[in-house]
């Protein structure tokens, strides 16, 4: 598998002489491997690690250097420039030979041969450093990386007790208002439905964010009963989210009382696992749609969160068709009077409860549809010339044309949105891959300039988990701007 120049994961477990493997010893294939700088410590593979959030972070050389003391920055820059060159396998670099000389196997990181590292730094970069300066630079870089990791971990997810407190508060509000919502006529409780529905949607969006970070549906933990959940989820998508009419028009559709009871059970049983969050997304979305309408902006947002959370369980044609439909629906709400009234009200709420504009919601939907198609086209899972699932608003189109048209609509309506720009790079990479012609892609990157090209690449690395696609994007960016070759130091 082709990976970005510097990749966070180990390709193979390390085995050392004396552990029974003898000549079959396997070595690390990268140096930046476990989030520390040149750390030769071998982690234990006895116990399978728990699923962690997968959100990628990208560190540039300048970022790493800026985090150490000023009197160490020059030597730190030389160490990182050497590291980037080594991992990129430039010239006739023999990485195994370098690791044997500089990063001695074993758990003792003090056994790193800094003198050999200094010699290799001079050979590769032309910068002459003493072994002591190399050691000092590595020590400071490690410390800076550990501090950054601690800060990132602290900010990554809310504390479990904070999450439990928020869900308990929501549970109390639902119980206090259960009788009113299920016995009185909807026309007399518009304000209450708006408040409760928005609060539930906030919980749904938060749960969806945690599910996506855990890569649920694509790297599902072994503890999740995938078969049972997949059946429930797909049934939910087909029977609930694809209703084109208002919920009350379907005689066989569950009542609001049923949806509320199911959500209350979900809140009571929530144990902060991926499966619990998935249930919260599903059942909370049903309540939002029941309270505020499946065709309302909150209803569209609820459906969007369900689809994104279960993207790994949904067939591409169904996923794309639903995202395209939701994009059209969100766009149609741009001039809707009720939506404008709702948005004026929601803007006064705390920031975590506010909703994006209808056009921005449409962009989220179209970005999901476009990137799903482009990923599958790049991987060869879709034939670019085959006709895609019919869109009632457009004549039949091929998968590739559907992806391009969907992104064009994003560019037309929301050209400055980050995802629109990230998808633009993705689009150029995939088209260049399919046509075997890099001319347009390189021209686009050259017109952006080095700084914006690097920003787009960094955004793509964080956004897309297709390693081969990211690697191809990186090669294109470097081909357009060779000076950027050593700017991306750490991708994890």
Mean pLDDT of 193-218: 81
What distances in angstroms separate CA 98 from CA 27, 38, 130, one per listed residue? 11, 12, 18
Say what percent of the chain tops pLDDT 70: 72
DSSP state letters, 258-300? HHHHHHHHHHHH--SSHHHHHHHHHHHHHHHHHHH-TTSHHHH
Same structural domain for residues 104 and 232? no
Residue 348: CB atoms within 10 Å:
8
Same structural domain for residues 151 and 180? no
Same structural domain for residues 234 and 149? no
Give CA–CA dist 224/319, Å, rounded: 22
2 within some domain: no
Q: Cα–chain-centroid distance for residue 364? A: 13
What per-residue confidence (pLDDT) applies to 246?
38
Does the pLDDT of residue 55 top 90, yes or no? Answer: no
Q: Following CA atoms 423, 429, 435, 440 in sequence, which dihedral angle do they give, to the nearest 10 degrees? A: 90
351 within some domain: yes
Tokens 């049972």 appear where? 228
350 within some domain: yes
Residue 416 CB partners (closer than 8 Å, separation 6+): none
What per-residue confidence (pLDDT) applies to 52?
46
Residue 79: CB atoms within 10 Å:
29
**Lowest-pLDDT range, 53-57, 252-256, 416-420?**
53-57
Give CA–CA dist 38/145, Å, rounded: 11
371 within some domain: yes
The segment with the largest mean pLDDT, out of 37-41, 418-422, 434-438, is 434-438
Residue 296's pLDDT band, with cuts at 50, 70 and 90, is very high
Domain final residue, candidates 156, 178, 211 = 156
Say what percent of the chain tops pLDDT 90: 37
State the total domains in the chain: 2
Does the pLDDT of residue 35 top 70, yes or no? Answer: no
Tokens 């030389």 appear where? 78
Domain final residue, candidates 156, 191, 211 = 156
Phi-psi group of 435: left, alpha or beta (phi > 0 → left; psi -120 to 50 → alpha; rest → beta)? alpha
437 within some domain: yes
15 within some domain: no
* pLDDT (tens digit per residue) in 137-147: 988 888 887 88
Same structural domain for residues 297 and 170? yes
Is residue 484 classed as helix, strand or coil in its secondary structure?
A: helix
Residue 286 or 249, more confident:
286
* pLDDT (tens digit per residue) in 223-266: 445 455 556 556 655 555 444 333 443 434 457 898 899 999 99
Main-chain phi, psi angles of 238, to 5 degrees:
-70, -40
Residue 242 or 60, more confident:
60
The domain of 148 spans: 22-156
Does the pLDDT of residue 468 top 80, yes or no? Answer: yes
Which residues, listed in sequence order, are joined to residue 60 by a DSSP beta bridge? 488
Residue 301 or 233, more confident:
301
What per-residue confidence (pLDDT) applies to 31?
29
Same structural domain for residues 36 and 145? yes
Which residues, listed in sequence order, are joined to residue 398 by a DSSP beta bridge? 387
Mean pLDDT of 104-109: 59
Mean pLDDT of 43-70: 61
Q: Following CA atoms 250, 256, 258, 261 in sequence, which dihedral angle do they give, to the nearest 10 degrees? A: 160
Same structural domain for residues 250 and 305? yes
What per-residue confidence (pLDDT) applies to 304?
92
Mean pLDDT of 176-197: 88
Residue 310's pLDDT band, with cuts at 50, 70 and 90, is confident
Domain final residue, candidates 117, 133, 156 = 156
Same structural domain for residues 269 and 368? yes
Give CA–CA dist 242/100, Å, rounded: 58
């Amino acid at each position: 598998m082709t990976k970005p120049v510097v990749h966070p994961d180990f390709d193979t477990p390390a085995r050392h002489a004396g552990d029974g493997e003898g000549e079959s010893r396997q070595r690390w294939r990268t140096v930046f491997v476990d989030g520390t700088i040149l750390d030769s410590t071998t982690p234990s593979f006895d116990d399978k690690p728990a699923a962690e959030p997968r959100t990628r972070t990208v560190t540039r050389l300048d970022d790493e250097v800026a985090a150490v003391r000023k009197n160490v920055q020059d030597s730190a820059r030389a160490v990182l420039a050497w590291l980037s060159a080594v991992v990129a396998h430039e010239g006739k670099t023999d990485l195994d030979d370098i690791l044997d000389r500089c990063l001695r196997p074993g758990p003792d990181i003090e056994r790193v041969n800094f003198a050999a590292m200094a010699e290799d730094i001079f050979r590769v970069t032309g910068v002459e450093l003493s072994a002591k300066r190399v050691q000092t630079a590595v020590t400071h870089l490690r410390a800076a990386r550990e501090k950054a990791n601690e800060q990132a971990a602290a900010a990554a997810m809310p504390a479990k007790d904070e999450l439990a407190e928020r869900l308990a508060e929501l549970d109390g509000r639902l119980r206090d208002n259960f009788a009113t919502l299920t016995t009185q006529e909807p026309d007399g409780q518009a304000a209450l439905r708006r408040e409760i529905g928005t609060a539930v949607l906030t919980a749904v969006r938060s749960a969806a964010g945690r599910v996506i970070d855990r890569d649920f549906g694509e790297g599902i933990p072994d503890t999740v009963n995938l078969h049972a959940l997949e059946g429930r989820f797909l049934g939910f998508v087909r029977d609930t989210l694809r209703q084109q009419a208002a919920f009350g028009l379907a005689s066989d559709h569950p009542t609001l009382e049923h949806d509320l009871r199911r959500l209350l059970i979900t809140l009571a049983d929530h144990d902060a696992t991926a499966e619990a969050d998935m249930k919260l997304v599903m059942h909370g979305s049903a309540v939002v749609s029941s309270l505020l309408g499946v065709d309302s902006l909150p209803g569209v947002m609820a459906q969007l969160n369900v689809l994104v959370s279960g993207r790994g369980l949904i067939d591409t044609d169904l996923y794309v068709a639903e995202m395209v439909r939701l994009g059209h629906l969100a766009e149609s709400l741009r001039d809707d009077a009720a939506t404008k009234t709702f948005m004026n009200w929601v803007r006064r709420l705390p920031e975590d409860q506010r909703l994006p504009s209808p056009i921005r919601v449409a962009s989220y939907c179209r970005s999901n549809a476009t990137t799903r198609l482009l990923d599958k086209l790049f991987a060869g899972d879709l034939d670019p010339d085959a006709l895609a699932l019919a869109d009632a608003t457009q004549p039949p189109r091929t998968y590739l044309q559907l992806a391009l048209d969907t992104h064009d609509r994003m560019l037309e309506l929301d050209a400055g949105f980050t995802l629109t720009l990230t998808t633009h790079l993705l689009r150029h990479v995939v088209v260049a891959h399919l046509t075997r012609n890099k001319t347009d892609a390189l021209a686009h990157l050259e017109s952006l300039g080095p700084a914006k090209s690097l920003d787009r690449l960094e955004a793509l690395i964080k956004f897309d988990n297709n390693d081969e696609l990211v690697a191809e994007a990186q090669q294109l960016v470097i081909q357009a701007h060779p000076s950027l070759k050593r700017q991306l130091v750490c991708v994890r």
